[in-house]
Amino acid sequence: MADPDSRSDPAQAAADNAPEKATLIGTLVHLWPYIWPGDRADLKMRVVWSMVLLLAAKLATLTVPFTFKWAIDALNGTGSAPVEASNWMLWLIASPLLMTASYGAVRVLMAVLTQWRDGIFARVAMHAVRKLAYITFVHMHELSLRFHLERKTGGLTRVLERGRTGIEVIVRMVILQLIPTIVEVSLLMAVLLWQFDWRYVLVTAVTVVIYMYYTYLATEWRIEIRRKMNDSDTEANTKAIDSLLNYETVKYFSAERREAERYDHSMERYERNSVKTYTSLAVLNTGQAVIFTFGLTATMLMCALGVRNGTNTVGDFVMVNAMMIQLYQPLNFMGMVYREIKQAIIDIEKMFSVLSRNPEIKDIAGAAPLVVSPGNVRFDDVRFAYDPERPILKGLSFEVPAGKTVAIVGPSGAGKSTISRLLFRLYDVSSGKILIDGQDIRNVTQASLRASIGMVPQDTVLFNDTIRYNIRYGRWDAGDAEVEEAAQLAQIDSFIRNSPKGYETQVGERGLKLSGGEKQRVAIARTVLKAPPILVLDEATSALDSHTEHEIQEALERVSRGRTSLVIAHRLSTIVGADEIIVLDQGRIAERGTHAGLLACGGLYASMWNRQREAEAAREKLAQIDDGNEAPNRAPPPVDDLLNDQPKDLPKSKDPLSKDPLATAAE
């Protein structure tokens, strides 16, 4: 069992084993368990049938030139079998009309077998895509908050999207293009050796090798050109979107011409690189055509000499031409296949790189579910650092008794929000313990821990769905009546019912169709519906105006009754009634006590309280000036500075009589 007191390594994500540089063989090895799944006999049979149909389709493909040859020889009267009226089968073989019909029938059979193979294999390919995408999506949620903060969400979704597309490309190109081409070339060599001689095999093999090597070199050259074209396309698209998103700003500064010039500059670069891309494609196609034509011409010259010498028929001449022309089509796609496979390997490599990352927060072996009764929370000498060089919490010890409310306050950067992240186990402590009813949270399952804690954050982010969906997210099996009851407790039911669509109202991206107060109420309703025994309020009202804050505070007080509550507060007026207030300063507990007791001490808390009172007084003064249409003689002090700045000089004496007169008056 892992030592729960062992220090978690903040650099673990960077030190995780990453896969080696991806190759086609290595990628196929990774993908094979999903193409040949051990628990899906039906998919295995589809793979087998696809291979059988692949071979049958290629045999039919090689039969086409033979039927062409037999038809020509029959028309020319030079068939290898003598025609005897008494032998009807030989007559059928020598019949030009029958051979021509056979030619068409075999071509139809070839197409049917090929499409049948593609249809059967489609379910195998898409199952592999779905399975790997699902595994990656789940794994992304298992990775730590540190991992997600270090990356852009859009970047992760692109990894998922491109990886999913890459899997589909690899499976489609390798199974449905590359392998069939290899099979066809191999069968063609065997037929040439059987029907003609080794010289035809040698010429064809040299042609294919030179053709593929040239395709490889030209495609590598073109990849860099295409990359520049794609970069310029992305740049132009980004500038267009950025300009349109800032439409009003463009208008404010009459910058339409400047924006158009920036966009045209990017498009000029895209135009230049696009021309290079199409020119390079012409070079690739020309070289491929020249190389293949030399090989085709060489084989036909040898066969023409054989016809003149009587060792070959006109049908043989036509068959060689048909076989080589038939081979050209799959070879012609090899440049595209190589480019697509190479890009797909890069995309899948990024997906496997994410999958190779070990979750920083993991359940230990045999972790038991958390049992909460009555709900006592204790921090025991907790130390933590996001970066080892910059410790955040330095030996924090305090207790939140069951059913009581403890508030955490302090200047910005003191480590307040870190406490909630550690309790929720988004990070593990560097040392020390966090206990709930005597159970170390590192020894219980993450699911049971988070099911027992309700969180109302400062910045509520909602799903782009209905209000009902967002409230029900707190407990997915809740009925409509329970959802509406939770909304009533959060004092948002009347607002919802007055909306045109009621609970089916769409909240928009990240909930931006709702105001800050409405989003907070939805978050509170969601937590009420979850009904957790432990509640964490992480600066839940700091971003709201005073009137909205008062209404939200009433809802929060109603929700927190009878629950173990940890309140991380920015506005001290919201935690006056807390059973205990803990004042943090630079990762340590500077003071602790009740609101009245801390004011009486005249320390850091009293100084913060006075500064906030000064800020409120400044607001009131400014409001009175605005109401009286008077011009203020001077600007009030910045409110944010008053709220956040730590006092530089604190009173040394704790005697209430030695406090600042303003603080005494405020009390």
Q: Which residue has the tokens 């049938």?
A: 49
Q: Which of 551, 556, 568 is nearest to 423 (CA)?
A: 568
The reported pLDDT for the residue numbered 93 is 52
Q: Transcribe 172-214 into DSSP letters.
A: HHIIIIIHHHHHHHHHHHHHHHHHS-HHHHHHHHHHHHHHHHH
Higher pLDDT, 233 or 583: 583
3-state SS class at 340? helix
The reported pLDDT for the residue numbered 105 is 80
The reported pLDDT for the residue numbered 37 is 77
Contact 589, 641 (CB under 8 A): no
Share of the chain above pLDDT 90, in %: 0
Higher pLDDT, 1 or 449: 449
User: pLDDT at residue 554 above 80?
Assistant: no
Cα–Cα distance for residue pair 80/71, rounded to 1 Å: 12
Q: Which fold has domain 458-531?
A: Rossmann fold (3.40.50)
Mean pLDDT (whole number) for 62-72: 76
Give the model confidence (pLDDT) of 98-129 as tens digits: 767 777 787 788 888 888 888 888 888 888 88
Q: State the average pLDDT for the chain.
A: 76
Least confident of 80-84, 352-356, 402-406, 518-522: 80-84
Least confident of 128-137, 264-273, 429-438: 128-137
The reported pLDDT for the residue numbered 540 is 64
Cα–Cα distance for residue pair 171/167, rounded to 1 Å: 6
Contact 455, 527 (CB under 8 A): yes
Give the model confidence (pLDDT) of 339-362 as tens digits: 777 777 777 777 777 777 777 778
Pairing of strands 588-593, 431-436: unpaired
Contact 253, 318 (CB under 8 A): no
* Enclosing H/E stretch for 478: none
Contact 124, 50 (CB under 8 A): yes
Q: What is the dihedral of CA 198, 203, 206, 208, to 10 degrees?
A: -110
Higher pLDDT, 630 or 512: 512
Contact 84, 90 (CB under 8 A): yes
Mean pLDDT (whole number) for 257-277: 86
Q: How many CA atoms lie within 13 A of 500 on its CB side?
A: 2
Contact 663, 610 (CB under 8 A): yes
The reported pLDDT for the residue numbered 157 is 65
Total-model pTM? 0.59
Least confident of 399-408, 578-587, 632-641: 632-641
Output the CA torsion sign for 399, 403, 405, 408: positive
Mean pLDDT (whole number) for 173-189: 79
Laid out side by side, the sheet with 580-585 consists of 453-456, 534-538, 564-568, 405-409, 580-585, 588-593
Contact 406, 595 (CB under 8 A): no
Residue 606: φ, ψ to 5°: -60, -40
User: pLDDT at residue 284 above 50?
Assistant: yes
Cα–Cα distance for residue pair 277/245, rounded to 1 Å: 31
Give the model confidence (pLDDT) of 359-379 as tens digits: 777 878 888 888 888 888 999
Contact 326, 187 (CB under 8 A): no
Angstrom CA distances, 428 to 150, 407, 425, stand at 17, 22, 6
Cα–Cα distance for residue pair 69/14, rounded to 1 Å: 64
User: pLDDT at residue 86 above 60?
Assistant: no
Least confident of 29-43, 165-179, 411-425, 644-658: 644-658
The reported pLDDT for the residue numbered 80 is 46
Contact 266, 236 (CB under 8 A): yes
User: pLDDT at residue 5 above 60?
Assistant: no
Pairing of strands 534-538, 564-568: parallel
Give Dmax (Cα) for the chain: 134
User: pLDDT at residue 193 above 80?
Assistant: yes
Q: What is the dihedral of CA 390, 395, 398, 400, to 10 degrees?
A: 50
Q: Which fold has domain 13-196+335-360?
A: ABC transporter transmembrane region fold (1.20.1560)
User: pLDDT at residue 467 above 80?
Assistant: yes
Higher pLDDT, 215 or 88: 215
User: pLDDT at residue 315 above 50?
Assistant: yes
Mean pLDDT (whole number) for 262-275: 86
Least confident of 221-225, 492-496, 540-544, 615-619: 540-544
Q: Transcribe 396-426 into DSSP letters.
A: EEEEE-TT-EEEEE-STTSSHHHHHHHHTTS
- Most confident of the ranges 41-45, 292-296, 628-632: 292-296
User: pLDDT at residue 649 above 50?
Assistant: no
Cα–Cα distance for residue pair 161/133, rounded to 1 Å: 8
User: pLDDT at residue 529 above 80?
Assistant: yes
Higher pLDDT, 30 or 147: 30
Beta bridge partners of 409: 583
Least confident of 79-93, 219-233, 440-454, 457-471: 79-93
Residue 651: φ, ψ to 5°: -60, 135
User: How many Cβ atoms from other residues are within 10 Å of residue 336's Cβ?
Assistant: 15
Cα–Cα distance for residue pair 254/248, rounded to 1 Å: 10
Higher pLDDT, 327 or 629: 327
Give the model confidence (pLDDT) of 399-453 as tens digits: 988 888 888 888 777 778 888 888 888 888 888 899 998 888 889 888 888 888 8
Higher pLDDT, 93 or 269: 269
Mean pLDDT (whole number) for 179-188: 81
